[in-house]
């Protein structure tokens, strides 16, 4: 019964407009093939969760999308436009936001300043010189601070926050950036169970108006947010489907879930 | 939480404390030439210019994280422009050879003024060139360095190479640059036919330095300043927020070179000569020392350090010729015990290093319940 309903979900997703498409993507690091021809489609307001063992190429896939890792062959298509190997600031301006695996935030700046930097707007040299702090901007930033639960920490330097709070600051930066596609690399790493759950709710809220791609290890969390799961293994796509389908896929169990079960049993 | 949001402090871009201290400092500098002798007035004018040069380096090193040894070069390029202007405006009788051609060109067998130097005899051309030549040179270098994503210590090595190469080039082109001696015996600066007395020059220089500090404060307090500081901390991250990091670096690099060029241009009427000494790595290193001793990213620090070290050098000079030993010792002390420079000795509210544009808008940090 469960599989039937999730297949219906998948059909619905197929009919949605594809916002971001990755076509036969290959990334090579000095001879090592980190990605061996991966395909991925992300629909409008969809959450795609990528799982896979260490070294599967999950982060590399996101790196290739945002122009951090050079693409050897294949294409990244965003709204029908080829953005392969474009400059990272150009890709960001087009509407792709990224949260990194380790919180990649400005420790020397306050939480407020971190969000201010990310705030959607004209990011050229001259506009930033003319740019003034306005009540509207302040309210927008406070809205984000409220969303990530750090409203009372706006004045605090990020350096003095906990690891989990830093993760939220970076999620807040992505929210403030207001991209069309949000790429989140292990957003709950280092978080307590409560923090993880809250992060899941934040991500669901983001997905109301954005397309979201999440890399995750925590299966509980994946179940909380996932609509569609993509399993990567050794630079290739191993499987794709709903939570139920992935959990019952024998190949996935063999390379990933199976080993995890053994790990947790040990 | 809503209670906290309700208490919004109005934005005040310049703290009262800063206005007060700035006003007092400006007043002291205005009174100074009337109290001190002509020697001290000239020395202070020179140190203000060195301070301004330090501030220009602080914008790229302290705020943006690009260590440059080439700021002496930008300073000297502005200086040569001013020197050509003043040399070409010597009255014929004051000129060693009675003609209009500068003495060093006569010695080196030139019979007429080279076409690329001739326009510099006109004040508006020279005034613009003083700013545009260092800025244009910096823009070209900056474009290649920053667009090709050279970073960190490699930029510093390139600036060292530029400094060495230009020193050699200027020495080798004796007919056009005066070689090792540089351009000497220049005329006094006169505006609208009136020769500017030393005290007038002092006030022009004071005005320039004060305007630079005010402008630098405004710039580093803006959103732009916040972006510079984030480039310094992590330039990759900010590119994923849609900022063209190379564009920001090229802009501040070029602006900083223009400031250094103006300082160099004002230096020549005061110093009455310019030579490749100021192109060399040793002078570029001195600029780095002012910023390091004063405090990186503090804006006021390099100015204070340049004045203090200059006065130390002046006092020590009377006793021993080894002033560099003393300056070296001070640098060692600062690097070992005060890595954030002299400004870090001041209590935090008097450093003015926080981005007030943002903090001014924030509610005060909530009290612990």
pLDDT per residue as tens digits for the range B321-368 = 777 888 888 888 988 888 888 888 887 777 776 655 554 444 444 444
- The tokens for B312 are 């130390």
Packing angle, helices A163-177 and A193-207, rounded to 10: 0
Half-sphere exposure of A85 (CA within 13 A, CB side): 9
In sequence order, what are the residues at sequence separation of 6 or more whose Cβ sits closer than 8 angstroms to the Cβ of residue A170?
Answer: A99, A100, A103, A104, A105
pLDDT at B184: 87
Polymer length of chain A: 266
Q: Does the beta carbon of B325 lie under 8 angstroms from any beta carbon of chain A?
A: no
Section B129-138 average pLDDT: 96
The span from the CA of A32 to the CA of A36, in Å, is 10
Residue-range domains of chain A with CATH: 1-95+183-191+214-266 (3.40.50.300), 98-178 (no CATH)
Please report residues of B whose CB lies closer than 8 A to that of A118: 241
Contact: B237, A87; criterion CB under 8 Å: no
The span from the CA of B332 to the CA of B339, in Å, is 10
Q: Does the beta carbon of B1 lie under 8 angstroms from any beta carbon of chain A?
A: yes
DSSP annotation of A153 reads G
In sequence order, what are the residues at sequence separation of 6 or more whose Cβ sits closer than 8 angstroms to the Cβ of residue B301?
Answer: B58, B62, B291, B293, B294, B295, B341, B342, B343
The closest CB to that of A113, out of B222, B226, B234, belongs to B226
Strand, coil or helix: A166: helix
pLDDT tens, position by position, B18-41: 888 899 999 999 999 999 888 999
Q: Does the beta carbon of B312 lie under 8 angstroms from any beta carbon of chain A?
A: no
**Contact by Cβ (8 Å): A202, A147:** yes
Q: What percent of chain B has pLDDT over 70?
A: 89
Contact: A125, B359; criterion CB under 8 Å: no
The band of B68, judged by pLDDT with boundaries at 50, 70 and 90, is very high
pLDDT at B80: 96
**Contact by Cβ (8 Å): B251, B58:** no
User: A–B: how many Cβ contacts below 8 A?
Assistant: 105
The span from the CA of B291 to the CA of A228, in Å, is 55
* Nearest partner of B259 among B126, B89, B132, B153, judged by Cα: B132
pLDDT tens, position by position, A72-121: 999 999 998 899 989 999 999 999 999 988 888 999 888 999 999 999 88
Please report residues of A whose CB lies closer than 8 A to that of B357: 133
The band of A4, judged by pLDDT with boundaries at 50, 70 and 90, is very low
Interface probe for A, chosen from B14, B220, B223, B365 (most Cβ of A below 10 Å), is B223
What ranges in chain B are assigned the alpha helix state H? 2-6, 16-35, 38-58, 71-88, 103-107, 123-147, 153-172, 174-177, 198-221, 223-233, 235-239, 245-271, 281-294, 300-319, 323-337, 356-359
pLDDT at A166: 92
Section A41-60 average pLDDT: 89
pLDDT at B190: 82
The span from the CA of B25 to the CA of B48, in Å, is 13
Q: Does the beta carbon of B356 lie under 8 angstroms from any beta carbon of chain A?
A: no
pLDDT at A2: 40
CA B67 to chain centre: 14
Q: Give the range among A126-140, A170-184, B290-304 with minimum mean pLDDT.
A: A126-140
Chain A residue set in contact with B, beta carbons under 8 Å: 66, 68, 87-89, 92-93, 97-98, 100, 104-110, 112-113, 116-118, 123-125, 128-129, 131, 133, 135, 138, 142, 146, 151-152, 154-156, 173, 177
Strand, coil or helix: B369: coil
pLDDT at A24 over 70: yes
Query: Residues 239-268, chain B: which have Cβ within 8 Å of A?
Result: 239-245, 247-248, 251
Please report residues of B whose CB lies closer than 8 A to that of A97: 240
pLDDT at B358: 53
Q: How far is B148 from chain A (nearest CA, A)?
A: 12
Q: What percent of chain B has pLDDT over 90?
A: 56
Beta-strand pair A228-233/A236-241: antiparallel
Please report residues of B whose CB lies closer than 8 A to that of A154: 362-363
Domain ranges of chain B: 2-359
Section B128-155 average pLDDT: 93
Please report residues of A whose CB lies closer than 8 A to that of B236: 68, 88
pLDDT tens, position by position, B70-115: 999 999 999 999 999 998 888 655 666 656 788 888 888 888 888 8
pLDDT at A66: 92
**Contact by Cβ (8 Å): B292, B69:** no
pLDDT at A220: 84
Polymer length of chain B: 369
In sequence order, what are the residues at sequence separation of 6 or more whose Cβ sits closer than 8 angstroms to the Cβ of residue B294?
Answer: B54, B58, B300, B301, B302, B303, B304, B305, B306, B341, B342, B343
Q: How far is B78 from chain A (nearest CA, A)?
A: 25
Contact: A124, B244; criterion CB under 8 Å: yes
Residue with tokens 């020179």: B46
pLDDT at A259: 56
String of DSSP letters for A73-136: EEEEEETTEE-TT--HHHHHHHTEEEE-SS----TTSBHHHHHHHHSSS--SHHHHHH----HH
pLDDT at A258: 56
**Contact by Cβ (8 Å): B327, B289:** yes
Give the DSSP H/E element, type plus range, for residue A36. strand A32-43
The closest CB to that of B240, out of A88, A124, A135, belongs to A88
Give the DSSP H/E element, type plus range, for residue A48. strand A47-51
The closest CB to that of A113, out of B234, B355, B364, belongs to B355
């Amino acid at each position: 019964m469960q599989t039937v309903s999730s297949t219906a979900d998948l059909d619905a997703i197929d009919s949605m407009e594809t916002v971001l498409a990755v076509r036969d993507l290959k990334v090579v690091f000095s001879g090592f093939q980190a990605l061996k021809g991966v395909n991925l489609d992300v629909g409008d307001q969809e959450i795609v969760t990528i799982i896979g063992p260490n070294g599967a190429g999950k982060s590399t896939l996101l790196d290739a999308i945002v122009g951090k890792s050079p693409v050897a062959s294949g294409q990244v298509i965003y709204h029908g436009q080829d953005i392969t190997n474009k400059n990272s600031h150009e890709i960001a301006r087009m509407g792709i936001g990224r949260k990194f695996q380790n919180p990649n935030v400005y420790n020397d700046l306050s939480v407020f300043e971190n969000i201010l930097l990310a705030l959607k707007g004209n990011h050229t040299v001259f506009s930033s010189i003319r740019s003034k702090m306005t009540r509207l901007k302040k309210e927008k930033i406070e809205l984000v601070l409220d969303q990530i639960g750090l409203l009372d920490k706006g004045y605090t330097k990020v350096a003095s926050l906990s690891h989990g709070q830093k993760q939220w600051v970076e999620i807040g930066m992505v929210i403030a950036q207001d991209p069309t596609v949000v790429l989140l690399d292990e957003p709950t790493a280092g978080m307590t169970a409560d923090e993880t759950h809250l992060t899941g709710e934040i991500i669901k809220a983001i997905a109301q108006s954005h397309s979201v791609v999440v890399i995750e290890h925590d299966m509980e969390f994946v179940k909380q947010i996932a609509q569609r799961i993509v399993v990567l293994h050794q630079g290739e796509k191993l499987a794709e489907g709903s939570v139920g389908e992935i959990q019952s896929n024998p190949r996935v169990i063999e390379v990933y879930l199976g080993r995890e079960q053994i790990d947790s049993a040990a | 939480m809503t209670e906290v949001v309700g208490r919004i402090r109005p934005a005040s871009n310049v703290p009262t404390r800063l206005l007060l201290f700035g006003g007092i400092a400006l007043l002291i500098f205005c009174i100074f030439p009337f109290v001190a002798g002509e020697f001290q007035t000239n020395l202070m004018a020179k140190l203000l210019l060195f301070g301004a040069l330090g501030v220009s380096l602080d914008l790229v090193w302290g705020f943006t994280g690009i260590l440059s040894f080439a700021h002496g070069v930008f300073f000297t390029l502005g200086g040569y422009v001013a020197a050509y202007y003043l040399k070409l405006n010597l009255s014929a009788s004051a000129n060693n050879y009675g003609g209009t051609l500068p003495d060093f060109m006569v010695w080196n067998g030139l019979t007429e003024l080279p076409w690329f130097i001739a326009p510099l005899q006109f004040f508006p051309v020279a005034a613009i060139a003083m700013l545009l030549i260092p800025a244009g040179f910096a823009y070209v270098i900056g474009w290649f360095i920053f667009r090709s994503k050279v970073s960190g210590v490699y930029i510093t090595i390139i600036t060292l190479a530029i400094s060495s190469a230009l020193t050699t080039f200027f020495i080798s082109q004796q007919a056009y640059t005066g070689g090792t001696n540089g351009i000497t015996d220049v005329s006094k600066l006169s505006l609208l036919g009136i020769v500017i007395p030393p005290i007038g020059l002092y006030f022009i220089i004071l005005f320039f330095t004060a305007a630079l500090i005010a402008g630098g404060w405004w710039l580093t307090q803006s959103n732009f300043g916040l972006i510079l500081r984030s480039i310094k901390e992590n330039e990759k991250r900010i590119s994923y927020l849609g900022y063209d990091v190379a564009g920001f670096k090229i802009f501040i690099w070029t602006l900083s070179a223009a400031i250094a060029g103006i300082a160099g241009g004002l230096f020549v009427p005061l110093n009455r000569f310019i030579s490749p000494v100021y192109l060399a790595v040793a002078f570029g290193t001195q600029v780095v020392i002012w910023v390091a001793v004063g405090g990186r990213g503090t804006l006021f620090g390099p100015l204070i350090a340049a004045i203090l070290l200059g006065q130390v050098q002046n006092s020590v000079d009377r006793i021993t010729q080894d002033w560099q030993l003393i300056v070296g010792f001070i640098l060692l002390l600062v690097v070992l015990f005060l890595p954030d420079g002299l400004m870090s000795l001041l209590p935090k509210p008097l450093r003015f290093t926080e981005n007030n544009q943002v903090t001014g808008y924030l509610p005060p940090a909530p009290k612990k319940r």
